[in-house]
Chains A and B, each alone.
Chain A
Amino acid sequence: MTSVPTNVPAVDPDAAEDPSARRGRRRAPRSERSRAEARLGWWLAGPAFIIMVAVIFYPVLQALWDSLFNYRLTAPDEREFIGLQNYATILADGVFWSALGVTALITVVTVFVELILGFALAMIMHKAIKATRGLVRTVILVPYGIITVVSAFSWYYMFSIDSGFINNWFSWLPGIDAELNWFAQGSTALLVIMFSEIWKTTPFISLLLLAGLAQVPDDLSEAAAVDGANWWQRLWRVILPNMKAAIMVAVLFRALDAFRVFDSVFIMTNGAYGTEVLSLLAYRTSIGRLEIGLGSAVSVVLFLCVGIIALIAVKVFNVDLAGGRGGRK
């Protein structure tokens, strides 16, 4: 690999130091020089840090606060404190559970398919001969850069009963004919939504896996080949175990991303026929019906779901996210 750094240094400020030296420095009064350095460090990193905190944490606190009120913009004067009533309303509503189920389904299916496809693409990028390498990378990056909404429209028009050609092309398949309206029932609509999501985000997973592949030492695989391992054994016994961390990071990021799915559902069905997802529910409650209290509660629940997924992933897979990415423990 020429252009992909094969040994990415993890962004880990503590790795370079001897732990005993750090402890010692904590006890000893910091020298004037290191104090100045720390000051400069915070002057440089501070603005970015403060903006991130302000843009995220302030609205989150606001949402937490608003979710405790019965608060409609259509009747702002009737705003009253109702405690956790909004959460009770959400959890007792079938719409919420259906949205949660659909979101989970989309997440699991797309991440699974993308992992396999993405690995194949990563292998192709990793092993490609010089003549085709640039071309392969270019075409794989196109879906990555394309606006999700454009991807959604493209897939929608392909399958649409008015302007599509899919029914025409695949009419030889059982169940597909000119009359099939893909977006009139949940199952087929979800299929197209997933197609769009998979097409758009597989490149991202494949790039993360490529970084992991680049970290697997070639001589390991060669040694296994010398010992008589066939291609399949080398993949499962040598390559994949050595990329475990990269795979986990890719799965985690993509799962969190998939859980926020919004754009393609909004464009294709707007949540009709049982395709409602959590993000869309939050949007329609707040922006559509101006139920700020209830919408905030949905937002908080979604935020908690994402937090729980992240926590489980980090705990179960023991991935040190801040310490290393792309194939490092």
Chain B
Amino acid sequence: MSTVSTARGARPAGAGGAAGAETLTPEEVEGQNKARRAKRNTTIGWWVITILVAVWCLFPVASILATSFKTPADLSNGKFLPTTWSGVNYQEIFVGDSQELFLTALWNSIGISLIATAIAVVLATLCAYAIARLDFPGKKIVLTVSLMVSMFPVISLVTPLFNMWRTIGLYDTWPGLIIPYLSLTLPISIWTLAAFFQQIPWELEQAAQVDGATPLQAFRKAIVPLAAPGVFTTAIIAFFIAWNDFVYGISLTSTEAARPVPAALAFFTGASQFESPTGAISAAAIIVTIPVVLLVMLFQKQIVAGLTSGAVKG
């Protein structure tokens, strides 16, 4: 609420200091002030609600962040915050004994998730384009199957895959995780993209051709800019899902060759057998949360649009 200084010599302003209140009756001034107060109260109310929601949503993250800065002796202090802030846990996972375990897992997670996302998005783009634009028998079947796949209990695939992968040598390899990850990323990509592509005014392409563009030009100039945001959003959502996987990660890997971070966290041990791995796990958990938080901060608008228009499984 800023106080507005009125010009000297002007009529004394009301309590709210209404600017330009030269021809207003006292009642009108009062009414303006009331409206302004009401507006201010709504604003304050919304900020209170927002802060409450933020506390609920961020509290567990803050808690594990605080834990990650505690020294081993400080872990059991029974307090939320560390007594002394220390980077010892981050040293442990980046340059200490857990370095090899953590960094290879991080590399596995990034590589496998990105490849699984890329394959899913490319295939889903073609598929969703066909669903949105072409008339072919079996459209419904494609959508129904992808829905069934997204509802499927992942663990039911683990037993047969575990056995098959061991037989054909895919156990504990990158492809051995990328293939099952497609069962997680493909269905949601198809649904989300199909929903996005339904909203694209495809007539623009013909319009561009009428205006003298070649079919390729028309596609590139008229359609690609409209389709790109949807593809990009879908990629983010698919990446979240691949990044989040735990079941495949612990079932289909046995060494550092392909074990992703979530699975590695479950097998973390402390610097020595007498030390609890709590600090190191917390630090590693914060590191793998950073990309997620960054993506959310940068693209919250697009992610919400993607999830509300085509999301099936989060």
Contact = CB atoms under 8 A, between A and B. Distances in A.
Contacts of A300: 156
A41 B136 contact: yes
Interface in B49-89: 49-50, 53-54, 56-58, 60-61, 63-64, 67, 70, 75-76, 78-80
Interface string B261-285: 1100110000000001010011001
A149 B105 CA distance: 14
A20 interface: no
Nearest to B292: A145
A199 B55 CA distance: 12
**A-side interface size class:** 35 or more
Nearest to B302: A3
Contact of B293 (A56, A131, A142): A142
Interface stretch (A43-51, A182-190, A216-224, A237-245): A43-51
A204 B314 contact: yes
A45 B240 CA distance: 24
Contact of A146 (B292, B300, B307): B292
A150 B64 contact: yes
A253 B155 contact: no
Given A150-B285, A162-B75, A322-B143, A303 B58 contact: no
Nearest to B288: A147
A129 B43 CA distance: 8
A111 to B, nearest CB: 14
Is the interface on chain B under 10, 10 to 19, 20 to 34, or 35 or more residues? 35 or more
Interface in A1-41: 3-5, 8-9, 11, 13-14, 34, 37-41
Contact of B158 (A13, A128, A199, A299): A299
Contacts of A144: 240, 296, 307, 314
Contact of A124 (B49, B61, B151): B49
Contacts of B311: 204, 207-208
B115 interface: no
Contacts of B309: 4-5, 8, 211, 326
Contacts of B149: 52, 55-56
B153 A279 contact: yes
A38 B136 contact: yes
B147 interface: yes
B151 A146 contact: no
Interface string B127-149: 10111001111111111111111
A147 B244 contact: yes
A312 to B, nearest CB: 13
Contacts of A151: 60
Nearest to A4: B308
Most B-side CB within 10 Å, residue of A139, A165, A207: A139
A214 interface: yes
A135 interface: yes
A252 B194 CA distance: 21
B207 interface: no
Contact of A154 (B56, B250, B285): B285
Contact of B130 (A11, A41, A66): A41
Nearest to B39: A129
Given A45-B130, A60-B160, A66-B163, A51 B182 contact: yes
Given A63-B160, A163-B75, A321-B147, A257 B127 contact: no
Contacts, number: 343
Contacts of B49: 124, 132
B140 A211 contact: no
Given A11-B198, A267-B266, A303-B153, A137 B67 contact: no
A306 interface: yes
A322 B151 contact: no
Interface stretch (B29-37, B96-104, B184-192, B214-222): B184-192
Interface stretch (A90-98, A227-235, A280-288): A280-288
A168 B141 CA distance: 55
B16 interface: no
B159 interface: yes
A59 B160 contact: yes
A296 interface: yes
Nearest to A52: B149
B49, B143, B311, B314 pick with most chain A CB within 10 angstroms? B314
A157 interface: yes
**Interface centre among B78, B124, B126, B145, by most A CB within 10 Å?**
B78
A47 B123 contact: yes
A155 B285 CA distance: 12
Contacts of B246: 147-149, 262-263, 266
Contact of A59 (B60, B164, B199): B164
A100 interface: no
A194 interface: no
A157 B282 contact: yes
B43 A131 contact: yes
A165 B292 contact: no
A44 B76 CA distance: 57
B195 A8 contact: yes
B187 A44 contact: no
A114 B240 CA distance: 21
A136 interface: yes
A52 B195 contact: no
B191 A11 contact: yes
Given A9-B195, A38-B137, A47-B127, 18 more contacts: A11-B143, A44-B126, A45-B131, A47-B126, A56-B149, A56-B157, A128-B50, A131-B47, A139-B50, A141-B296, A143-B57, A145-B296, A157-B63, A158-B60, A169-B80, A204-B314, A208-B308, A262-B155
The 5 closest A-B pairs by CB, nearest first: A41-B136, A204-B314, A44-B130, A211-B308, A62-B160
13 contacts: A3-B304, A9-B199, A41-B134, A45-B131, A48-B186, A52-B146, A62-B160, A150-B262, A207-B314, A259-B153, A260-B153, A283-B155, A322-B144
